[in-house]
Amino acid sequence: MTRKVVRRPARYALRPVGVIKSTLKSRRNAPRQGSEGAPDAWLEVRPSASAGLHRLQPGDEIIVITWFHHARRDVLQVRPRSDPRNPITGVFATRSPDRPNPLGLHPVVVRAIDGNRLHIGPIEAIDGTPVVDIKPVLR
Amino acid sequence: MTRKVVRRPARYALRPVGVIKSTLKSRRNAPRQGSEGAPDAWLEVRPSASAGLHRLQPGDEIIVITWFHHARRDVLQVRPRSDPRNPITGVFATRSPDRPNPLGLHPVVVRAIDGNRLHIGPIEAIDGTPVVDIKPVLR
């Protein structure tokens, strides 16, 4: 007799390594991309992860990966930029924050570093947005 | 009397939306970046997420976000490229797969689309690597 093995989908636990402190307080007022007039903001890295910042320097270009904690995870298709003139499009062909795993990619410049706090920008993420990773831009 | 509120760190559950099917079978033999001689591969999107592919087309440049399931999450500093001549560096200043949330960013071109399977490349992710998000490259 053979047994059918039912494999459950894997899940991985993301643990934020920091948080965005911004003057942008609500998603409604936030620009859609950093290049669209977004402000600079602070990225506060948790003390438990701050050793990971070693050798980052002002002027570095980095990619901040956030978790859009207000996003809808059950959305697979949208009209880009919420514009009714745009055709229905799969979320993987858009930058909509609504998507199964609402990760945000934010290319920014490091303006200054103060201990475990990075001054970065421009960035459209709102105040309180969890940060899950930081990577250098490769050239 | 005041009560001290202890806030537990939030966690978020990442649920893979697909998987990489590649001829690269082990991390040891994989190039460090897609541009370093990596092959093309297939990205198989789960049927439950495939509606998110609508309007993606061959020739599109996308960023595939993976979860490096073999990475070490307790590493905060490394010698880049595992080269002993490189100085100890915080993981947030490197592209090391070892990091608190081992997310990988892979800019690739969509070569072809076959239902819920994307032929993409070049990509250094090994066979079986979970895919957690797909985004278009913004220009």
Instruction: Look over chain B and give the mean of its residue pLDDT values, rounded to a whole number.
Output: 93
pLDDT tens figures, A83-92 = 999 999 999 9
- The residue of chain A with its CA nearest to that of B118 is A92
DSSP, collapsed to helix, strand or coil, labels residue A88 as: coil
Per-residue pLDDT tens over the stretch A28-42: 878 888 888 899 999
pLDDT recorded at residue A124: 94
Residue to test with chain B: of A92, A94, A116, A118, most B Cβ within 10 A: A92
Least confident of A87-96, B21-30, B106-115: B21-30
Alpha helices in chain A (DSSP H): none
**B56: nearest CA partner in chain A:** A93
What residues does A135 pair with on adjacent strands? A63
Q: Select from B7, B8, B11, B12 the residue whose CB has the most chain A CBs within 10 Å, as the one to mutate to test that interface.
A: B12
Q: Cβ of B74: how many Cβ atoms within 10 Å?
A: 8
pLDDT at B35: 81
Task: Select from A56, A67, A138 the Cβ nearest to the Cβ of B90.
Answer: A56
Quickly state the pLDDT bin for B119 (edges 50, 70, 90): very high
Strand partners of residue A106: A64
B98-130 core/surface letters (b: 16 or more CB in 10 A; e: else): bbbbbbbbbbbbbeebeebbbbbbbbbbbeebb
Structure pTM?
0.92
**Residue type present at position B55:** R
Whether the bond into B9 is cis, omega within 30 of 0: no
- Position B2 pLDDT exceeds 90: no
B-proximal residues of A, 8-27, CB under 8 Å = 9-17
pLDDT of residue A5: 64
Which residues 63-92 of chain B have a CB within 8 Å of chain A?
A: 63, 65, 67, 69, 76-77, 87-92
Q: What number of other Cβ atoms are within 10 A of residue B37's Cβ?
A: 10
- Confidence band (pLDDT; 50, 70, 90) for B13? very high
Question: What does the buried/exposed string (b/e) look like for A13-27 if buried means 16 or more CB atoms within 10 Å of the residue's CB?
Answer: ebbbbbbbebebeee
pLDDT band at B115 (very low <50, low <70, confident <90, very high): very high
- pLDDT of B89: 97
Judged by CB atoms within 8 Å, which residues 90-129 of A form the interface with B?
Answer: 90-95, 99-101, 103, 105
Q: What is the pLDDT of residue B32?
A: 81
Q: Give the model's pLDDT for residue A27.
A: 81
Q: What is the pLDDT of residues B53-97, one digit of tens each?
A: 999 999 999 999 999 999 999 999 999 988 999 999 999 999 999
User: Looking at the predicted structure, is the pLDDT value of residue A62 above 90?
Assistant: yes
Looking at residue A43, what is its pLDDT?
A: 98
Q: Does residue A37 sit in helix, strand or coil? A: coil
DSSP A39-67: PPEEEEE-GGGGGGGTT--TT-EEEEEEE
Residue among A52, A93, A134 minimizing CB distance to B54: A93
**What per-residue confidence (pLDDT) applies to A8?**
63
Tell me if residue A81 falls in helix, strand or coil: helix
Q: Which two tokens stand for residue B3?
A: 């009560």
List, for residues A7-20, the tens digit of each pLDDT value.
Answer: 666 899 999 999 99
| Distance from chain centroid for Cα A67 | 5
Averaged pLDDT, B22-33: 86
Average pLDDT estimate for A18-25: 96
- Is the separation of the CB atoms in B19 and B102 below 8 Å? no
Contact call for A90 and B54, based on CB within 8 A: yes
